[in-house]
Every structure is written in C-alpha cells, then in structure tokens.
Structure 1
Amino acid sequence: MSDLISDVNSDGTDQYKDPTDSIPSGPSRRIVLHFDLNNTILVSDAVTRQGTVAALEYFLSTVTWGRMTKGKWEWLSEAPSLLQPCEGANTYYSQFGRVAGFTTVGPGRRFRKVLGEHLELLRWPSDLPADKELSVKGEDGKLYHWILPSFFQMLQDLASQGVEFSVLFCTFGSDLPRVLNAVKSAVEQGTHPLFPDLPALKLRVNVTAGRIKCSSKGATLIRGEEHVSTRDGERHVYQYLSSAEGLGGFQDHFDWWARNTYSILGGKPLWIDPFDPKVQHIFTDDNIRQNDEDTIVHPKVFLDPEGLQTRTASTSELYDLCLVQNDLLKAISEPGYFTRRIQICMENYEGNIQKG
C-alpha cells in the first residue's frame, strides 16, 4: 500500500477558501471530527489553572521561535508561526518551558500586541449579559467566550453544506464534562446568543464523558455502559468510533503519553482506514507537530482493506489529511477557520484514498 501523502503547503494558508464554498464532490463520506479542548476550542486550562490571558500567553510561547547564541536567546521570528522558520530554531516554550506573563513582563514583549488583539477578539459581546456556561471572566476581569465561536460556526457550515459528521472531544484535561453540558445547551436548546439557530441542526449531545485507557496491551474505551477494547481487535474500535453520532467525548490517558516521553507512541489513539470510502477521521489539536518525538496523536493506519493489522503513521504523512495542527490565533480571529481546515483535509483525502 502506498503511503498517504499530503500535497499542500504544511500550513495550508494558500488553500483557504470561503467557508460557504461547497465541499468537494465525490463519494459521500461521513466525517468523524476529533477535537482537543484546551488551546483548540477553549482558551483556558482547568488542570494548570490557566485563565484566558495566561492560556493565550502560553500558546504564544509555543509558536514563537529563536535559538541560543553564545549563551543568549536570539529571536528568529517577528510573528507567531506553527512552523519552524529555519533549521535549528526552537520555540521559546521548548527551550525554557512555561513562563508566566510571557508577553507582559516576560521575554516575549515583542508579541504583546498580538496578545491584546486576540484577547479583544475573544471578548464576550458587551451588550449581552454573562452566560454561566458559555462566557468566562478572565484574570483581567473582562468577560470572554469560553468556547470559540468558530467551533459553533463550523457546526452550522458543515450542516448547511450537507456534510454528515459527528464530533468527539478528546482531551487529557478535566474540562470535558463541563464542555459537554455547555455544548448541549447551545446545540439542543439554542442558548448561545450568537448561534440561536443551532437546534435546527438536530444534533444530539451525549453528556456522559468517556475514558480511554492505554497500555502495552492496547486501548480500552469506556463510556457509560459502552465498553470496547483493542483486545477484540483494532477493527472493532475503529467501527465503534466510525459509527459515532452527534457530539460526545472521551478523556484520554495522559499518564500513558508521559510514560512514552510525550512522543507519538503514547499519544491519543486515532484509527484510520485509508481503504474505507465511507468514513474519514480528522483530529484537530494544538499539540500535533511534525516531530514524532513531540506530538500528541498516535495515528494507527490499517494495512489492508477490512484487515486487522495497523501501523503507526508519522504525523507528516497525515498532516492536512487526518491531522490538523490547530492555529489558535486563527481559530480566534477567523470565524471560518475550522470549516476551512476540514475542507482542506477532505479535498486532500479524496485524492489520497486507497483503492485496495
């Protein structure tokens, strides 16, 4: 089987289209969207107790680049970027770890304007009252969106384009139950003031948070009475996830990732069948990186049509086909960001689907 290869620029910027454009024609394929939470659709982190401002500052430290020269840090980027600007460049975070007040009192002051601009874009509308589920007060006392509007925009866009899809939130963090309840209110009851028509999409949200446990023997997924395991075959788990309906979620196994030195082998598992003409899985996460020693999703690709064996695929092989490295700044500033990223993946996948 030939590898799946992405044939677009790695940041996909020149591929962006109006989110109202139609999805490419071809076989009707269900899309299963796996979404991280923190710094993907949320700008906060309950585990690290980061509010909106701190979470955005942290993200900026992961997308600004430099290098050590004669014992001193030398900046190599004037603007944030997901991609390494040149050989030998490191992000500030990878070199020094978390730094409080990165752009305000720390070494990233040159990016303070970027922080301010995106915080302003995140502001909850001033003419609307606070919402206990959908808005959050930042450390600066200002009111912000808790879940990015671009996520809800994506739900509307895909539905209007006739795409059959489901959403699975996948997070190492502890925010999942709260997210599921907030999304349920917005999607089923129309509580989001900017997206009051979401109930017309007829989407249902399963508020039971599942768990994924990984070990050297495989993976087990448990959600309420549902229980599937790779001990019954990886194909069994793939079929379970491929048949997901509406929106739901699982808490992934952080300790397993840590025990595997935060590499691809300990990442959130993602099963992909490149021979399946009916289903495409797409995973969006800010920690997806084209460095398999430092990435967060473990893609397991089936070797044969209807086969049982999988191989670990590199991140670069599936980048912009099944893996989307989230650009949080664009997810904040561009309402159609998630829609466009999915369109790019669908178009690329159409050209790379295996024929068996």
Structure 2
Amino acid sequence: MTAIKHNTVNADWIMDHFMNGQNEHPTDCVASLPTAGSTLPQKDVEYYQETDAEWQKQDVPVSGFKKRKLVLHVDVNNTILVSDTATEQGTRAALSSYFSSVIWGKINQLDKWEWLSDVPSVLPPCDEAVNFYSVFGKDEDFFDSTEGRCFKSIFVDHLQKLEWPGPADEILSVTGEDGKQYHRILPSFFWLIKTLCLQGREFSILLRTMGTDLYPVLHALEFAMRGGHPQFKDLQMLSFPVNSKTGRIRCNKREIVLSTETERISTLKDSRSIYQYFNSLSGISGFQDHFDWWARNSYTGKGGKPFWVDPYDQNIQHVFIDDNIRFTDDYNIVHPLVFTKKGGIQTRTAPASEFYDCCLIQTDLLNAIANQDYFIKKIQQCEEKYDSYLYKLQS
C-alpha cells in the first residue's frame, strides 16, 4: 500500500479537484498549507484522499465552531424521483405534470389564457399569476399545443438531462413511456450525500412521502451506497447506512404516531418524542406519511407532514425538502410545529412563510435536474438563514 500525505486544504480546492474525480494531491502547494495542529481558518476542511480502495482521514482541529447536525426530511416524488408508481406516471408524464405547475399566467378580459412569464419558477411572478395546472389540469399534449409550444425546448432539455447514461439497470434506471432509460433517483441527490460526507458533516436523511415508492427508492439508495451507481462508485467508501425497513406516521386530533416494526412512538404524553427519535437517527431512513389526514384537512398545512423545529436546540437543524411546500398555507404539505420553550413540550403551528428557505425548501425540480449542486446550495442557504433566524430570536 502506498503512503498517503495528509494535509488540510481549502474547501474550494476540494470542490474543484477531489469532487470532480481529480484525486491527486497538490504537492506543488504543500509548503503553503497549514500543518496539523496549527490554527486553521474556519473555511478550511479536512483533507480526504482515496488509495487502494480506502479513504483515510486525518483528525485536524478546525477553529472553534462546530456546525449543527442536519436532519434532512426529503420528499420522494418530484423531489428526488421523477416518476410515480401510484399514478402510473412515467418520467415524461411526471415531468410534464410538474412543469405545468411552475409556469404562470392568467385568464384575461377576453376569457383567454395569457402568459405572465416565459420562465418557469416555483414562485408566481406577480400577485395575479396562477399556474397553468391549477386552471387546466393535466394535459399530456401540452407541449405540442399552441399555449405550450413556447416551453417545449426547456422541457425537452430537462428530459434529456434525466436520461440514464448506459444500458438499462433494473435498480437505478426506469423505462419511460418513450422506451428510453431514465435516472430513478436524481444525480444531484447522490451529490448531496457525497458532498456532506466529504465535508465531515454529521447528518441524516429521512425520506418522507405519502406515496408508495419508498421501498424501490431505499433499495436503489442501498445499492448505490454499495458502489452500484456507475457515476458515484466512490459512495461505497462512505460510512452512511441505509435502513431498508420503512416506518409510517399517522395523525389524528389527539396525537401523532410513528410506528416501525419494533417501535410505536406517540406524542400523546410527550410531544417531543418523535422529534427526539428523529434526532437519534443516522444514515437514511424512510417513512410513509398520512395522505388521508392531509385530504381530510383540505390539503392545507394543518393536515400536512408533521415537522418539528426547536430553535432552542443549538446542536441540530431540521430541514424539509418537498415540491408541495408553499410560501402560503392555503395549500401546503408540511405542518411546522415549533417548540415554544427550551426543553418544553408546548408547540405552536408556524406559518410556512416563517421558515421558507430557512427550514422549508420548496423543491425546484427543474433546477435539481439541471444543476448537480442544487440541493447542497439550498442546504447552505438554509443554514445561513437559520443562523439569522436564531440571532433575531435571541435578540
């Protein structure tokens, strides 16, 4: 086995070299790097290098500040997966359906549809704008219609970016309506996992869906983490386990119950119980949320996926990523519950606007498809905004 030189390097160098597959050590600049035991700038990170199928890590002190553990609650459909077995939507239909929800217009005085923006966006461009889907519903021929033709090139470009780069893989690819193979899980999601691990972050991922895709997604993630993904073979070097046994979350007026094969956790006597359980998890886990409860509450945040935030807990930040998060509460799939006192059990329902892009991320699926670093940049944005939120709260 060849010897490894250990040094700390700037985070930008890691992103530009190591994470793009250029694993060579920068020997020409070793002399200018800080040595182990010296005081390091806050932006410095630990240097990782792979050799002979191993990653070795040097314990280097980083100045003063330890970042919070991240607990990432991640939706499945239209967040990391562009297909839906429950509705039998293939990749093309699922992308088309999503696309129609992020293009905006209005019915004008002549009772005709009028576009208010030619750029897709998760937020409306103005107060009077409504998305195309909310007015006309699902239209599989939309991009060949007079109204939709102007967006066809954007749609086709993103569909091409979803194509699987090789022969069919029964675990990691799906067959589209056109017979082509597409990614089952977005590459940007694997990039998120890899980046956080390389940064030495403590984090866990909780898949939270009201659908039926948990098992195949967890199976695909487990396979990829063993080195099965051709674009992310180095994931096998990471110690990030996948729990393939799923749990479920059910709500009623009295309590919220999380159940697994071996546990039943209720908020009836302790409203912090599920929050603390989530805090204790590591790796990737999956939970099916309560669709009927959301429907009975008119698809508002009140009946959405319960999501606890404790602003008095300095060691953890929870972040929820879901395409059905909204800035307003009239249609929202997440129910933010905020603890009102340090160590207390009382919670208040927070408006989504309080934590939007802070603890709540409305998935921009088109961006997640087009940009490999979409998720990691959104997480970084949330951490910065959460710091500001806590500072204002303490002030």
TM-score (norm 1): 0.91
Q: Which secondary structure does the structure 2 equivalent of 1:120 belong to?
A: helix
1:322-341 aligned at under 5 Å gives the runs 322-341=359-378
Q: Counterparts of 2:367 and 2:267 in 1: how far apart (Å)?
A: 36
Q: Which secondary structure does the structure 2 equivalent of 1:78 belong to?
A: coil
Partner amino acid, structure 2, of 1:47: A
Give the drift of 1:137.
1.2
1:202-351 aligned at under 5 Å gives the runs 202-351=239-388
Partner amino acid, structure 2, of 1:67: K
Q: Which secondary structure does the structure 2 equivalent of 1:221 belong to?
A: strand
Partner amino acid, structure 2, of 1:146: R
1:35-184 aligned at under 5 Å gives the runs 35-70=74-109, 71-105=111-145, 107-125=147-165, 128-184=166-222
Residue 13 of structure 1: aligned partner: none
Q: Counterparts of 2:181 and 2:274 in 1: how far apart (Å)?
A: 41
Q: Counterparts of 2:96 and 2:106 in 1: how far apart (Å)?
A: 19
Partner amino acid, structure 1, of 2:162: L
User: Structure 1 residues 98, 222: closer, same or farther in 2, change over 3 A?
Assistant: same
Q: Counterparts of 2:245 and 2:96 in 1: how far apart (Å)?
A: 32
User: Structure 1 residues 290, 279: closer, same or farther in 2, change over 3 A?
Assistant: same
Q: Counterparts of 2:153 and 2:317 in 1: how far apart (Å)?
A: 38
Residue 65 of structure 2: aligned partner: 26
Counting aligned pairs with the same residue, the percent is: 50
Partner amino acid, structure 1, of 2:93: A
Q: Counterparts of 1:277 and 1:88 in 2: how far apart (Å)?
A: 40
Q: Which secondary structure does the structure 2 equivalent of 1:110 belong to?
A: helix
Give the drift of 1:136.
0.9
User: Structure 1 residues 181, 224: closer, same or farther in 2, change over 3 A?
Assistant: same
Q: Counterparts of 2:65 and 2:327 in 1: how far apart (Å)?
A: 29
User: Structure 1 residues 75, 305: closer, same or farther in 2, change over 3 A?
Assistant: same
User: Structure 1 residues 190, 313: closer, same or farther in 2, change over 3 A?
Assistant: same
Unaligned runs of 5+ in 1: 1-16
Give the drift of 1:106.
7.3
Deviation per CA, 1:11-55: give whole Å up to 9, x if none.
xxxxxx999496998343110000000010001111111100001
Unaligned runs of 5+ in 2: 1-11, 17-42, 46-62
Q: Counterparts of 2:174 and 2:245 in 1: how far apart (Å)?
A: 23
- Structure 1 contact 275–355 (Cα < 8 Å) conserved: no
- Structure 1 contact 18–336 (Cα < 8 Å) conserved: no
Matched, 1:197 2:234: yes
Q: Which secondary structure does the structure 2 equivalent of 1:232 belong to?
A: coil
- Structure 1 contact 103–111 (Cα < 8 Å) conserved: yes
Residue 39 of structure 2: aligned partner: none
TM-score (norm 2): 0.82
Give the drift of 1:199.
1.7
Q: Counterparts of 2:64 and 2:123 in 1: how far apart (Å)?
A: 31
Q: Which secondary structure does the structure 2 equivalent of 1:231 belong to?
A: coil
Question: CA RMSD, aligned part only?
Answer: 1.9
Q: Which secondary structure does the structure 2 equivalent of 1:335 belong to?
A: coil
User: Structure 1 residues 38, 316: closer, same or farther in 2, change over 3 A?
Assistant: same
Q: Counterparts of 2:383 and 2:14 in 1: how far apart (Å)?
A: 13
Residue 19 of structure 2: aligned partner: none
- Structure 1 contact 65–75 (Cα < 8 Å) conserved: yes
Q: Counterparts of 2:136 and 2:13 in 1: how far apart (Å)?
A: 38
Q: Counterparts of 1:199 and 1:307 in 2: how far apart (Å)?
A: 40
User: Structure 1 residues 351, 19: closer, same or farther in 2, change over 3 A?
Assistant: farther
